Copies of this chain bind each other. A is one copy, B any other.
Amino acid sequence: MRIALDALGSDNCPDPEVQAALQAASEFKDEILLVGPENQLRPKLGSQNGSSAGVQIIDAPEAITMEDKGLKLALKAKRRNAKNSMAVGIDLLKNNQADAYITAGNTGGALATAYYRLGLIKGLERPGLTALFPVKDGHAVVLDIGANPDCKPEHIYQFAIMGSIYAQKVLGVKDPRIGLLSNGEETGKGNQLVRDTSPLLEASTMNFIGNIEGKELFGGQVDVAVMDGFTGNILLKSSEAVAKLLIDTLREELMSSFRTKLGAAMAKPAFSVIRKMLDPAEVGAAPLLGVDGLVFIGHGRSNAYALVSAIRVARQAVEANLLSAIRDAIEEQLISQPELEAS
């Protein structure tokens, strides 16, 4: 198995990437392809642990940065001979030189690069950006979290197929429970898009449990939650912001007196559980579902530990043949869709 890792992804790149590549190569015995400027990476690779066994540098002298957007980003993502580490890394997938690609860089950049260079899985209309949300006693697969601000019912239907396959194949959930995020659980509730999507999911063979609200999602009652990319993005960012507000306020209050400081010190193990629950490093990376190749996107704040987790997730997807499973599921759905529409 060959896993390609963007050396220019994380906020502190390339050190966490170099370290993660070496650790993963040693831990998993896979070949790690570290994609970035060879002249920068070579000395670092030599200097870490005194060994670069299992890590191969793929030269990519340029980068897509967090500042790239709009036309400039599109050009960097699309250009045939692009030398940035996303284009070079994703081309490895296209040319069967790598089985999965991981980046902790610009999400829009990874999306655009993968979309232009790999295309979509046949029969699929839109790719879905995915996140693993911490929920009660586990995680839920949530998509789309921002690739498609405006969706049609068929897009959300396909997100459900992909999310369900991902939960099955990579997270090991037997019969993933799927929920459609709405403003109320009753059928018939929702905006027009939800009211049009709900019947498609009802008529499918998927384990659709119905419309859900935040309490079902964060209460751990579904394995997969689907929605349009605008709603998903608001859900993701607002959840992060609420968590931050609570934790910051609590921290401030705990530091406000000697007594509460002491109490906080004693209660530290409990706070560590919360920190771990909210730490993106624990999840490692989430897949960009729907493009015709295995692309995983990690958090910009990823450290080496997070990147090794990301590599672990990517390996599981490769081993589980995630891509063919999604291809098959989408093809199957295409055949059965006329019936769905008639029902």
Top 4 closest pairs, chain A to chain B, by CB: A263-B266, A263-B267, A214-B238, A214-B241
Tell yes or no: A219 within 8 A of B by CB: yes
Assuming the contacts A249-B277, A269-B260, asked whether A215 and B191 have C-beta atoms less than 8 A apart, the reply is no
List 15 interface pairs A-B (beta carbons < 8 Å), by A numbering.
A69-B186, A136-B249, A149-B192, A149-B194, A184-B233, A213-B237, A230-B231, A231-B231, A234-B234, A235-B238, A242-B242, A249-B274, A250-B271, A263-B268, A267-B267
Tell yes or no: A74 within 8 A of B by CB: no
Tell yes or no: A82 within 8 A of B by CB: no
Interface centre among A135, A214, A269 (most CB of B within 10 A): A214
B270:A191 contact, CB within 8 angstroms = no
Tell yes or no: A205 within 8 A of B by CB: no
CA distance A101 to B108 in the complex (A): 48
List 20 additional contacts besides A250-B271, A250-B273; criterion CB under 8 Å.
A135-B245, A136-B248, A149-B189, A150-B191, A182-B230, A183-B234, A183-B237, A214-B234, A215-B237, A218-B244, A219-B241, A249-B273, A249-B277, A250-B270, A254-B267, A256-B269, A260-B269, A263-B264, A263-B268, A264-B270
CA distance A170 to B313 in the complex (A): 52
CA distance A244 to B271 in the complex (A): 15
Chain B residues, CB < 8 A from A259: 266-267, 269
A238's contact among B186, B238, B248, by CB below 8 Å, is which? B238
Bin the interface of chain A by size: 35 or more
Enumerate A260-300 residues with CB–CB distance to B below 8 Å.
Answer: 260, 262-271, 273-274, 277
Assuming the contacts A213-B237, A264-B263, A270-B260, asked whether A191 and B253 have C-beta atoms less than 8 A apart, the reply is no
Chain B residues, CB < 8 A from A250: 270-271, 273-274
Chain B residues, CB < 8 A from A149: 183, 189-192, 194
Instruction: Encode A174-202 as 1/0 by CB contact (under 8 A) with B.
Output: 00000001111010011110100000000
B231:A246 contact, CB within 8 angstroms = no
B274:A253 contact, CB within 8 angstroms = yes
* Shortest Cβ distance from residue A136 to the other chain B in the assembled complex, whole angstroms: 6
Chain B residues, CB < 8 A from A260: 266-267, 269-270
Tell yes or no: A127 within 8 A of B by CB: no
Chain B residues, CB < 8 A from A186: 69
Chain B residues, CB < 8 A from A266: 259-260, 262-263, 266
A235:B234 contact, CB within 8 angstroms = yes
Tell yes or no: A240 within 8 A of B by CB: yes
* Shortest Cβ distance from residue A220 to the other chain B in the assembled complex, whole angstroms: 9
Tell yes or no: A146 within 8 A of B by CB: yes
